[in-house]
Every structure is written in C-alpha cells, then in structure tokens.
Amino acid sequence: KAGVTQTPRYLIKTRGQQVTLSCSPISGHRSVSWYQQTPGQGLQFLFEYFSETQRNKGNFPGRFSGRQFSNSRSEMNVSTLELGDSALYLCASSLAGNQQGSYGYTFGSGTRLTVV
Amino acid sequence: AQTVTQSQPEMSVQEAETVTLSCTYDTSESDYYLFWYKQPPSRQMILVIRQEAYKQQNATENRFSVNFQKAAKSFSLKISDSQLGDAAMYFCAYRSENSGGSNYKLTFGKGTLLTVNP
C-alpha cells in the first residue's frame, strides 16, 4: 500500500514568487492536513480538508491557501513568498471522517521549501 | 485551546537502557487522543503509539509504552531496551475526539531530541 506522497521533495524559490506543493494521500483516506515545521515555531497546523471541503484552518495569513480534489489529492499554495516561509511542509492523511474516531494520521516525507 | 508541552528539549540514553520522555497537555475536553510520533533525519513522521483518553489501561507497542495520567494531564513515553535506530526527534500530539471545525487537527509539542549512545 503506497504511503502519503509529497512532491517535490525540495524547492528553492525567490522572495515574492509563489509556490504550489502537492500531496497524494493513502488510497481511501479522505482527510488531508498540512503542517509547517520550523526550528523556531515547531509544528504548526495550516489547514485540513475532507471531501474537497476545508474544515479547519490554522492561524496563517491569507497568502497560504489550499484545496482538495475529488480524488482526495491536495495542493497548498503560498503566494508572495517571504524569507520566513522557509520550512518543511508536511502533509498527513487519515481515515477519519465526520466522526474522528481513533484514526491516526499518516505523514508524508515533506517538502523542504527554501526562500532566498 | 489545547496546548502540549514537552519539557525536555534533549535526552540521551545508552543502548539497551530505558528512557522516559515527558509530555504534559492542557485541555478542558474529556474525550481526546494522544499520540507519540517519531521523526528521524529522513523527516517522515512515524506514529509510535496512541492512547484513547477514555481507556485507563496504558498503551504498549513492543518496546514502547506510555504512562497516561489523565487527572494530571500527563502522557510520558517509555522506551525499553533502546536501540540505535530509536535516535530521532519525538513529538507528543493531542487530538480532540469531538467533531467540528477547530477539532480537525493535531496539536504538537516542541519535541524531544533523543540520542542513543552505543
């Protein structure tokens, strides 16, 4: 069974540019979450999608956005990149539906974004 | 809002010995789940063990076990017979059992870097 796949693994962008990251969840998982990991702030929640609907959003500026497609694949977009956006972006998928139950989250290996 | 605190930024243990990583959390909810995740240098977060808050029995997974103290809001991870492959960053995480917007997420602690000495 394939795991959570994130592409690309590494990305270098210039300030002011925009970037799109992709996440393919485990087959059958309809919940996809995104997290930003930095040495200073640790792991911070960005947003969560279920069946193409954003159910929860973290405390990030509007430059951060996402979406989920009908096949549960998800993308996140960051516009007008700032140096502080340099981070590891992790995607996680879950079997959890409207009732969360005891399902855990399976993470991908992340996309390392460097803004120069 | 829930918070998770890991008070030990770094820990070290000798191979084959036992180590305990601490985690405390703050919540007003009664139904929730707690997790320990391991993040090796490969970056992928790997689920080590989970605990349902309604279960009094502590979870165990092979060499990994937890000490869950609900009243004290404490959730420590014990690693027995430590192996070199256990070296990683360990994160404690909280998730609400309830449905509804703000509950659909994991809240993480800052992590504990575990070094295993041969």
For A43-90, write each residue's pLDDT tens digit: 999 999 999 999 999 999 999 999 999 999 999 999 999 999 999 999
**Looking at CA atoms only, how far is residue A76 from chain B in angstroms?**
16
Tell me the chain A residues in contact with residue B99 when contact means C-beta distances shorter than 8 Å: 98-100
Asked if pLDDT for residue B57 goes beyond 80, the answer is yes
Residues in chain B: 118
Query: For residues B22 and B70, what is the distance between their CA atoms, to the nearest angstrom?
Result: 14
Tell me the chain A residues in contact with residue B52 when contact means C-beta distances shorter than 8 Å: 102
Task: Give just the sign of the alpha carbon dihedral A21, B93, A59, A57.
Answer: positive
Asked if pLDDT for residue B42 goes beyond 90, the answer is no
| The two structure tokens encoding residue A86 | 């340099």
Looking at residue B106, its pLDDT comes to 92
| Per-residue 3-state assignment (H helix, E strand, C coil) for B39-62 | ECCCCCCEEEEEEECCCCCCCEEC
- Over residues B18-46, mean pLDDT: 93
Query: For residues B95 and A45, what is the distance between their CA atoms, to the nearest angstrom?
Result: 12
Looking at residue B96, its pLDDT comes to 87
Candidates A55, A101, A107; nearest CB to B104: A55
User: In sequence order, what are the residues at sequence separation of 6 or more whose Cβ sits closer than 8 angstroms to the Cβ of residue B70?
Assistant: B53, B56
User: Would the CB atoms of A106 and B47 count as touching at under 8 Å?
Assistant: yes
Q: CA-CA-CA-CA torsion for A3, A40, A13, A21, nearest 10 degrees? A: 30
| pLDDT tier, A99 (very low <50, low <70, confident <90, very high otherwise) | low
| The two structure tokens encoding residue A106 | 């399976």
User: Would the CB atoms of A31 and B109 count as touching at under 8 Å?
Assistant: no
Backbone angles phi, psi at B40, to 5 degrees: -75, 175
Looking at residue A101, its pLDDT comes to 62
What is the number of CB-based contacts under 8 A between chain A and chain B? 65
Residues in chain A: 116
Asked if pLDDT for residue A100 goes beyond 70, the answer is no
| pLDDT tier, A96 (very low <50, low <70, confident <90, very high otherwise) | confident
